[in-house]
Structure 1
Amino acid sequence: MALALPHRAGTPTLPTPSDDAKLIEESLADPDRFAALFDRHADEIHRYAARRLDDVTTADDVTAETFLVAFRKRARYDLSKSDARPWLYGIASNLIAGHRRAEIRRLKALARQAPEPADGFEERSAERVTADQLRPALAAALAKLGSAERNLLLLVAWAELTYEEAAQALGIPVGTVRSRLSRTRTKIRRFLESHA
């Protein structure tokens, strides 16, 4: 037996978390409704931007600009897509691309860092030493990728988008996501093997 809570007059009801399209549609008539979309996804977009840019202040700016762009373009949102995350990640990725030079400089600087030496027997486990040693080489490999490859790889790896969501975020077919991701992984694997 389900317990139904009474609806109080004047209390707005939010759509289910997966129904961002309803919020966006409602925001066309009532722009204040868009704030709920911000509340729902801003932290996630900010975490992604902060990881990509390694600068909280710039990530703050990218997050704010992502939602400003989304607000301005909300009338063109495909309302058949109930989850707005891929759309928001696509906007954020485009804005991050504007900061590409800084991202590449950061990755190259990270690539030049020597791995920290392991202390004690327990910390010298093969997995940990290998991960620490790979970090600079992986950063160098990421810096060598083209922006389209890097955006796709990081949307899948860091933002944990599915192939379908990444395709939607980048505005490319799912088949292109699969083939580009496969080529990118091969490039990284070859780079890491040649620098081992």
Structure 2
Amino acid sequence: MTAKSTAPDLADPRGTISDEVLLELSRRRPERFGEIYDRYVREIHAYLGRRLDRQAADDLAAEVFLAAFRKRETFAPRRGTVRSWLYGFASNVIAQHRRTEMRRLAALQRSAGAHDGREHGHEDRVVTRVDAASAQGRLAAELRALPDGDRDVLLLSALGELSHEEVARALDIPYGTVGSRLSRVRKKLRAALGGVDPMCGGSDG
């Protein structure tokens, strides 16, 4: 027998069941987690692809959602949104594949002189305000040199367009740490890029 529709009080103002309610439902009905997957798989896949590469993203996106599914009982709404929670799993996966990200940055740095205007990955997204290929190469070098935590904060904000609070939840760090890291990194990168602000996305909200 088909289950009745969810009561209106479980829906957001648009009539769509919220992420948090879906995740709660999935604890009793695991198949409902597929709706969370459908909502966010493209976004998470794109983020992984920009940080690593498309081939890695194809494999690792599934790994992110599998980890989230297995740990869905641990989600606590008071600690943040389902979206930031998923980016936390994505950050953990990226941390396990740092070598891939470093190789990608190194390749961009080497090929900066031969830049052909096509999008090569997350570095192009971050430097949309930088025209010179040489500047792009400098940014790739600076990103490689950043501590992993600083790079994660910067790229979750610039690429994932997560707010400060969402970044804090994704990385399980204090809110104030996000702001201080972003301020420090942006100052460092502006100096390396001749005063150009490398941020092209993200929110201070």
In the superposition, the TM-score normalised over structure 1's length comes to: 0.81
For the residues of structure 1 that align with 2:84 and 2:149, how far apart are their CA atoms? 15
Given that 1:21 and 1:82 are in contact with CA atoms closer than 8 Å, whether structure 2 keeps it comes out as no
Question: Which stretches in structure 1 are left out of the alignment for 5+ residues?
Answer: 1-8, 119-126
* Higher alpha-carbon Rg: 1
Residue of structure 2 in register with 1:46 after alignment: 45
- Alpha-carbon distance change, 33 to 167 in structure 1, aligned in 2, over 3 angstroms: same
Matched, 1:186 2:187: yes
For the residues of structure 2 that align with 1:36 and 1:117, how far apart are their CA atoms? 39
Q: Which letter does structure 1 place at the counterpart of 2:70?
A: R
Given that 1:49 and 1:96 are in contact with CA atoms closer than 8 Å, whether structure 2 keeps it comes out as yes
Taking only aligned residues, the RMSD between alpha carbons, in angstroms, comes to 2.5
Shift of 1:12: 4.3
Shift of 1:128: 7.9
When structure 1 is superposed on structure 2, of 28-37 and 81-90 the one drifting more is 81-90
Identity %: 48
Q: Give the counterpart of 1:80 among 78, 86, 90.
A: 78
Q: Which letter does structure 2 place at the counterpart of 1:156?
A: S
For the residues of structure 2 that align with 1:185 and 1:168, how far apart are their CA atoms? 21
Shift of 1:189: 2.1
Matched, 1:105 2:103: yes
When structure 1 is superposed on structure 2, of 12-21 and 136-145 the one drifting more is 12-21
For the residues of structure 2 that align with 1:80 and 1:87, how far apart are their CA atoms? 11
Q: Which letter does structure 2 place at the counterpart of 1:145?
A: L
In the superposition, the TM-score normalised over structure 2's length comes to: 0.77
When structure 1 is superposed on structure 2, of 45-54 and 80-89 the one drifting more is 80-89
Shift of 1:129: 7.5
When the two structures are aligned, how many residues end up with a matched partner?
177
Shift of 1:192: 2.8
Question: Which stretches in structure 2 are left out of the alignment for 5+ residues?
Answer: 118-127, 196-205
Given that 1:141 and 1:192 are in contact with CA atoms closer than 8 Å, whether structure 2 keeps it comes out as no
Shift of 1:107: 0.4
Residue of structure 2 in register with 1:90 after alignment: 88
Deviations 1:81-126 (A, max 9, x none): 67311110111011011111111121012112215489xxxxxxxx
For the residues of structure 1 that align with 2:21 and 2:193, how far apart are their CA atoms? 45
Residue of structure 2 in register with 1:160 after alignment: 161
